[in-house]
Each structure stands twice: as C-alpha cells, then as structure tokens.
Structure 1
Amino acid sequence: MKVSFLIDNALREAVVNSCIGILLKAMDIECKLDNYNFFYSPSGFDFFDRTRENIDLTLFPSYNVNRTPEQLSRAIRTNSMMVATHAEQIINSALYKEKLNTSAKSKYSKQITSHFVWGPFFAELLMTHSSIPADKIYITGNPKLQVSTRLNTSTPNLSPSKSVLIVSDFSLGDMDDERWSQFKKRYKANYNTPIHRHYYEARRKLVNWVLTASERYPNIHFKMRIHPGEDRAAYELLKGTNNISLVGDRDFIEDVLDSGLVFSYSSTSLFEVLVMDKQVFNLDLHDLPEERKGEYFELFEWVNKSQFMDILRNYDEGKVFYPSSGRKKLLEKYMYGGNQKAVLRNAIAIKDVLENRIAQYGFSDFLVHYRNLCLSLVKDKAVKAGIWFNKELGLQNYISTLANRRKEADLNNPVRLNPNKIESAYKIASGIVTESEIEILKNNLYEIRKEKDGIYIDF
C-alpha cells in the first residue's frame, strides 16, 4: 500500500507528515511527500508527470469541491482515496463556505473518504454545516502540537541572546479593494467590512511599535517573521536596524524555539506557541470587526502599546514569561489529547482507512476529471510550444516568459517542497518518533471507539 502526503507549506507540514510516514513505514506502508500545487516550468505543466503512479490514499491539507477540481482529478487518476486533514481548523463563520464546502455538501461528503480533525470543536462544525456523518470523522488531535512539544523538550534554545519573535498574519493587508473583492469571490468569504484595510492599518502600527521598541531595548533581538507570500516591502523601515531581523525562510518551530517571548496580532499560530510552554501576547494594534473574530479569540491575551513596552522592559531585566495554566487548559477545548499521541493517532487512522474504506466517486466526478485532463493537456502543450518557439526560433513570447518566471519563483519559494527539504524533514522526524510508538502500532495496542461526534483512538 502507498500513501501520499500533500504539502502546502513545507516549513510547517513536512516534519509532521514525515513523523507519521515513519510510523507507517514500520507497518510496510510506503509513503511519500509531494507538493499540493501543480507547477509550470520550461518542461511544461507537471500534472501528468506527478500523477502517473497509483496511490492508495492521499491526504489533502485543504480541499474545496468547486475551487480545486484538479485535486479530485489527481485522486481519480492515481486511483486514490481522499482524506482531508484540514490544515486550518480554527476558523470564523465567514469562511464556512470555503473551508466546510457548505454549498456542495453532497459531493463533499462522497468525495472525501474520511476527515482527520484536531478535536470535537471542528468535528461539530463538519457535522452541523457540511452534513458529514460522525463515522467518517477521526478525532486525532493536532500532530503539529505534539511535534512542537517533542522539539521543545529535546532541543535547547538556538541562541543565548534575548530574542523576541513577532509573527505576522497581515497578508490581507497587501490587497487593494479590487484584490480584496476577488479574494472574497474566490474563497466565498462572507465578509461585509473591508478587513484588508484593518490589516493594512494594523501592520503600519506594528512597524512603528517595533521600531520604537528596538530603540528602547537595544539588548533585545527582534525577529519579525513575515507570512509566506506577504509583501516584504511593507517592512522596509525595519531594515538596517542592528537588533531587528526579517525572518520566515525556516521552520516556524525553529523560530519559536529560538525565542523567549512571542507576539502576534490574530494569528492562530498561538496554539503551537502555547503548547510549547512559551508565552504569546496579542498586540492590540487595530480593533477588528466582530465578523472577523472567532470563538477561539477567547485564547487571545491582548496588550496595548504601553503594556507591550512594559513586557519588553521586564523581559530585558530578566523576567521569564510562561502561559497561565488556565489558558493552557482552555486550549484543550480545541485540541483533543493536548500534545500527546496525535502523530500516532493519525498513523492508526490512516491504517484503518486503508483497511476498511473505499473511494466512492460518481459520474459527475469523472466528468470533472476528464475536463481537468483536457485543460492540463492544453496547459502542458502550450508551455512546451512557447518554449520551443523561444529556444529554436528565438521568438520571445508571453508563455515562455511566464513559464521561466514561474519556475524561478517556485524554486525560490520557501514553502515549496523539494528533495533537500524532504531529506531534512525525515532527519528531524527520525529523532522525534519513538520505538514505543512503533511497538504500539505493530502490536495493535490500541482501541478504536466510535462516538456520536466521531471516531476516537484509545491506548
């Protein structure tokens, strides 16, 4: 049997899925990591090259029936079942249509063989808003949190200096009104207020706060972690300052481990930070409208500019900050099992799906597949023709220019998976997975329990 993990962000997903892959390999289940997206290059469009081999099960970090038909086509072409692992499970109601496929419930339920969720919170959303039956939902916990915890206990801080991490989630602030309108339409985001403007203003304030703090506390190293794809020009004012560095090209976990304190605006990365026993504060930069807020905002600990400076002063004087026990307990509401055995539960859930489930694609699904095959073939032939005209006849053209630019952009993209990242991820994962976990799998030392809100795995 063979399993494929699709990676949308190599910096955040490669190590976690490598851990699960190591456990599966111990049961003679072959695994591979692959990029979620398909790419253009001077060699053509790579859909056909990357969907040649049969795969028994493919895990998708996200899937939308209407927006990502190429992923359905990938599964059908490789004779694979589809499992949704839901990379984003802490969401607000404006994104239900995109994340929960509320406008395509029937197809969604049939196309996705099983769902792996972090806790009862998201299981309830799937059942209530997507009409997904409980017997298709495995409540596994969040494997990223377990990996973060293992790294936190086994890896010392990477820098002896006083380091503060500031996590950006301001990508929406890059958009003008037209792009914002296109974003809402593409992702069916039901926002009534100009959220992008709120994030633009918040980011402007953040830059000002960080500049002021860096001058006031020269002994603190401020690491501004830029969101993948975010416009770095927005942080131009921070360049050239000795104790500020712009980061974002390595694993998020490494930056957290390297920091004694973390700040953010509204990023859900706080879940990983809290479970690693690092304190994270939310910067009250700009008041967000109610429609942007979610139930998970109850975990946020807001501080204004004056409080931000006071916290940094105390940190500079040697105070060590930890999250409160109450805040960490509240985290359990969203994450089943906290940071324990989630990697193992995911491996067991995959094994159970392989042994007991089958794909159920209908006639309309195959129509989508054939349409995508035709479209992918046109893309591939058009790119190859454009490259041929450029190379053989010296005719520069839009297609060849696009293909070369896309190749360069993709290769330089820090979140894109490549052989070096795969090798590095497996090396880190091999130091995280334990022999006791492998023994549990090999000896079936677990029980699968079906409840009204989903399937649980007990040890």
Structure 2
Amino acid sequence: MTDHINIQIDLATRELPYLTILKTILENKFDLEISLLPQDPIWCNGTSSFFKTSKQKCDLLVTPSYNAKRTLNTLAWKHRSNSKLVHFHSEQLIDPRFYEEKLNTTCSLEYDRDVEYHLVWGEEFAKLLHEVAGVPKNRIYIVGCPKLSLIDRDKLVSRDTPNNKKVLFVSDFLWATMPQNQYNWALKKYGIRPEDDFQGFYKTALDKFIATAHQFSISNPDIDVVLRPHPGESQEAYRSLSELNNVEIDIGTPFIESAVKADLIVQFLSTSFFESIYLGKPVICLDLVEQWGTHHRNYFKYYNFVKQKDFESTAKNYLDNSQSSYEVDDTCINELFSADKGDSILRSAAALSHILSISKNTFSTPILQDKIRSNNFILQHMLKNVAGIISTACISIGIKNTLLQRVKNAQLKWENSPEYFDSDTILQVTNRFLSSKYQNFDFKYHLTETKYGNLVEVQEQTH
C-alpha cells in the first residue's frame, strides 16, 4: 500500500510554487501519494472540507504553521487521519515577542506531544527550536530555504530596457495599516503586550519610509520608482506616491520577478533582504526608528542599515556603479538557510522520506487531554457545519436574513481569495515552476547529526 502525505498550505501565493515541485519529486522519486490541501477548513455549499479530508488516512501531515492553542483544526486532522505531524517552519527570523506564537513557549508540553518532527532552514533556527522550545534535536531536520531553490542565478534575465534606472521599494508595514479592531485581535493572537506599542513602532517607520520614497522620486524624475506593498496591506497610505509620474505601485507580481528588474532594492525590515542578496542585487535597509524599545534590533543583525539622511547619496553610489550585478556575499545566506548544502526542495523531499521510514512502525495513542482538545474543535466545527447547511438551504428557497447572508458570504470568500487554489491551479503552477533542473530525480542524500539537529545534504547525480 502506497504511503500518503497530506501537505497543508497556509499562503498559496507564497508556498504553492515550491510545494508543487516537492509534490512532484516525492511522487516520482519516492513513489508516494501526495495531496496539497488548504490548512484552514474551506466552506462550500454550507459544508466544511474538514470532515471529508480529515477522515482519509495518511501517514504524514505536514503543516507550514502550528500553534498548540490556536490551530486545533490541524491537531484534530492529525488524530482523525491517524498521522504523524511534521511542522515545516516557514519563518526563520522570529522577534522574541513572537516566541509564544511561533515556538509555543507557554504550551511546550502540548507542542511536544502534537508535533513529531520539524523541518527548518538552517542551524540558527534549529538552535532556537531546541533551546527555546525544547524540541529534541533528533526530531529536527535542517533542509534549507525552498524559496531560494526557485532562484536559478545562472539563468537570471535582467530587464530589456535598461535606459532608466529602476529602484524597488519593498514595503512591510502591515501592522501600521491595520484597522484598530484587527490590530487588537492580532495582539491577542500573537501574545503581544499593548504597552509595547507595536503599531506605533511601524507607523513611525511607515511615515518616514513614504517620505523617503516621495523625496527620492521628486528629486530623481529620470529614475523609475516601483513600490511593492506587503500582501494584505492597505494601499491608502501610498496614494501620494501613486500620483507621481515616475512611480508605479506593483501589486501581485512575484517578488523575484520584480527584484530581477530592479537596479536597487530599498526596504525596512522585510526578509526579502535575503532573497535580494541571493539575486546579487544591491539592497539598502532604511534605519527609520530611533527608539526601538522592546523591538530587538539584534534580531536584524544581518541587515545593512542606512540612516535616512544618508539614503540618497548611498542610493546614487549604487546606481552610478557600472556593474550589471553585484558579488553575492553568501555568509548570512549559508548561516541562516544552509544554502551551501544542496537544493532545499530535494533536501525536504529526502527528509520527509526518511521520517516516513523511521516512523512507519511507531504508534502512539493520544492522551485524554489531547483528545478533549481535538474533540472540542470537532464539536464546534460540526455545529458550524450544521448552521452552514441550514443557512444555505434557507437562502436557496428565498428566505432572506442578514445573518444568513453573512454565512453565505463567508462561504464565497475562499473562491474570491487570491489564496484560492484547486487541482487546475496546482497543475498550472507545476508547469510554470518545474524547471529542467528538477526533471532528473536521480539524487542521493545523507544525514549528519549536528549540535542542534539532523543536517540533510543532497548530491545530484549526473549522467
């Protein structure tokens, strides 16, 4: 009987490109059955996808994000499908204030029972996971950053019309543009103290970021300026910029495609800094806040901060440089993402195959406390499911009610979301990103025990 792996997707726009390749490799190299499914239950015609998908037995359930208090749907899915849970950590730089959310520091016992194995990008995060979250190192696999695997530096093509220089401003100010009710909900969700004034920190930075971009655009009308808002960020803050003739607001273009066409990339604290470096692009991190408060600056120790007053001269120095590309300093890339140990997507496939082999004959029965946690979610979701069916039926026979329509609108939200995907989407994304480098599934891998986890390395076979 073929082993089956369910891989959950949190943000399709970010994760689907490399997960479709991972799916193809696992199916062709290791002869496994792979399903790519939304992490959150999807509502359609009044019914939830949870009950259909979770009852199907699978051997591994892989999730990009997990919190033992908040994502109980994943825990219930694990128990119903009798699978081992693998947490594929999709964020490697974590502000210490997010430890409770990302490392489950206030519910470490539950987290340890819930998640059997962890995939991380580099040794530094493995250390954090081991020392802060208390995860045993034999359950940690270091596999690299899959987003970097999608970048073929040897085949990068610059823009066709390099007459005007182009500067890409990358925004990451979602916290600053949140409505107050959404911000209050986020504080509770992530366990952040209101007195830390997290939103105030980002609002201060956003005002200076816009002022810097505005002044630069006016002073340099012959330079094309592109501003890329963060996904989900309100664009109202950038209205004044959009009115300038040499400014373009770029929404929806994959970051790599935008970055390749830029001569300089400017940002605040976005982790696209590392992708920019990997692309060989000059990048400036604007130093926009004088009082960092509890926002730990050491967390951004790799960033090359430039004072606001020095930005224009520094930018001009980069732009006046006649080099078409810049020498890549791989130090931080290798420290954080172990990029020098082979292709990350191949390494991830190898790690999941190894986990399957060592866990196939191990069984564990959930303790009563964990059964209660799962069943509480299942009961609540079942009631929502019944309510959804009733609401859909009422609307279909002409009974109109504001509450019923809200339920219906919630059900339609998924299909209208930019994160929507189905089997056709998966096929399209696979065809787009499955380059010739992944057509050969002949590779070998080996594991090395390090101080904080199992380092997975691959060696591709040439013929």
**TM-score normalised by L of structure 1:** 0.90
Matches within 5 A, 1:224-373: 224-287=227-290, 289-293=292-296, 295-314=298-317, 317=320, 319-320=322-323, 327-338=329-340, 340-357=342-359, 358=362, 360=364, 361-373=366-378
1:348–1:133: structure 2 CA closer, same or farther, 3 Å change rule?
same
Match of residue 429, structure 1, among 426, 429, 433: 433
Residues 9 and 417 in structure 1, CA contact (< 8 A), matched pair in contact too: no
Please, which moves more after superposition, 358-367 or 269-278? Answer: 358-367
> Separation in 1 of the partners of 2:385 and 2:442?
46
Contact 1:146 1:339 in 2 (8 A): no
Deviates most, 210-219 or 120-129: 210-219
Cα distance change on mapping 1:99 and 1:72 into 2, 3 Å? same
Give 1:287 deviation, angstroms: 3.0
Show the counterpart of 1:401.
406
Match of 2:18 among 16, 21, 26: 16
> In the TM superposition, what are the counterparts of 1:113-192 in structure 2 within 5 Å?
113-148=116-151, 150=152, 152-158=153-159, 160-161=161-162, 162-175=165-178, 179-189=182-192, 192=195
Q: 1:220 to 1:44 in 2, by over 3 A?
A: farther
Question: Aligned partners of 1:195, 1:52: CA distance in 2, in Å?
Answer: 41
Counterpart of 1:84, as a letter, is H
Distance 1:212 1:418 in 2: 44
**C-alpha contact (below 8 Å) 1:448/1:456 kept by paired residues:** yes
Q: Per-residue CA shift, 1:23-81, capped at 9, x if unaligned?
A: 11112112222222223455333322443432221211110000111111122222222
1:332 match: secondary structure: helix
Instruction: Please report how far the alpha carbon of residue 312 of structure 1 lies from its aligned counterpart in structure 2 after TM superposition.
Output: 4.1
What does residue range 436-455 of structure 1 map to in structure 2 within 5 Å? 436=440, 438-440=441-443, 445-455=444-454
Bigger mean CA deviation after superposition, 338-347 or 197-206: 338-347
Letter aligned with residue 130 of structure 2:
M
The answer on whether the counterparts of 1:38 and 1:47 sit within 8 Å (CA) in structure 2 is yes
Segment drifting more, 24-33 vs 347-356: 24-33
Tell me the equivalent position of 2:35: 32
1:42 and 1:400 in contact (8 A); partners too: no
1:350 partner SS = helix
Question: 1: distance between equivalents of 2:413 and 2:223?
Answer: 34
Match of 2:65 among 59, 62, 67: 62
Show the counterpart of 1:375. 380
- Tell me which of 106, 114, 124 is aligned to 1:103: 106
Aligned pair 1:216/2:219, yes or no? Answer: yes
Structure 1 418/204 Cα, relative in aligned 2: closer, same or farther at 3 Å? farther
Partner of residue 89 from structure 1, selected from 69, 88, 92: 92
Larger mean Cα displacement after TM superposition, 253-262 or 66-75: 253-262
Cα deviation, 1:135-155, whole Å, max 9, x if unaligned, reads: 10011111212222x2x4324
RMSD of Structure 2 on Structure 1 (CA): 2.5
Q: Does the alignment pair 1:196 with 2:199?
A: yes
Please identify, of 24-33 and 64-73, the stretch whose mean Cα deviation from structure 2 is larger. 24-33
Per the TM alignment, residue 339 of structure 1 is displaced from its structure 2 partner at its CA by 7.1
* Higher RCO (C-alpha under 8 Å, 6+ residues apart): 1
Match of 2:421 in 1: 417
2:390 maps to which of 378, 385, 397: 385
Counterpart of 2:48?
A: 45
Q: Name the aligned partner's letter for residue 453 of structure 1.
A: Y
Aligned length: 450
Structure 1: distance between partners of 2:96 and 2:222? 42
Give 1:273 deviation, angstroms.
1.6
Bigger drift between 192-201 and 237-246 goes to 237-246
CA positional deviation for 1:83? 0.6
Q: Unaligned stretches of 5+ in structure 2?
A: none
In 1, the alpha carbon distance for the partners of 2:412 and 2:132 equals 40
Please give the secondary structure, in 2, of the residue aligned with 1:371. helix
User: How far apart in 2 are the matches of 1:278 and 1:120?
Assistant: 25
- Higher deviation after alignment, 62-71 or 193-202: 193-202
Which deviations, in whole Å up to 9, do the C-alpha atoms of 1:4-37 show, x marking residues without a partner? 2222222221111122222111121122222222
Structure 1's unaligned 5+ residue stretches are none
One-letter amino acid of the counterpart of residue 60, structure 1: T
- Aligned partner letter, 1:370: N
**Contact 1:11 / 1:252 at 8 angstroms: preserved in 2?**
no
CA contact (8 A) 2:46 2:391 kept: no
Q: Match of 1:423, as an amino acid? A: L
- Give 3-state SS (helix, strand or coil) of 1:4's partner: strand
Task: Kindly provide the amino acid, as one letter, of the partner of residue 382 in structure 2.
Answer: L
Q: Is the 8 A contact 2:282 2:318 kept in 1?
A: no
Task: Give, in whole Å, the separation in 2 of the partners of 1:275 and 1:44.
Answer: 44
Alpha-carbon shift at residue 160 of structure 1 (Å): 2.9
| Counterpart-to-counterpart distance in 1, 2:324 and 2:312 | 14
**Contact 1:250 1:414 (C-alpha < 8 Å) held by counterparts:** no
Please say which of residues 23-32 and 304-313 is displaced more in the overlay: 304-313
Distance in 2, matches of 1:67 and 1:344, equals 31
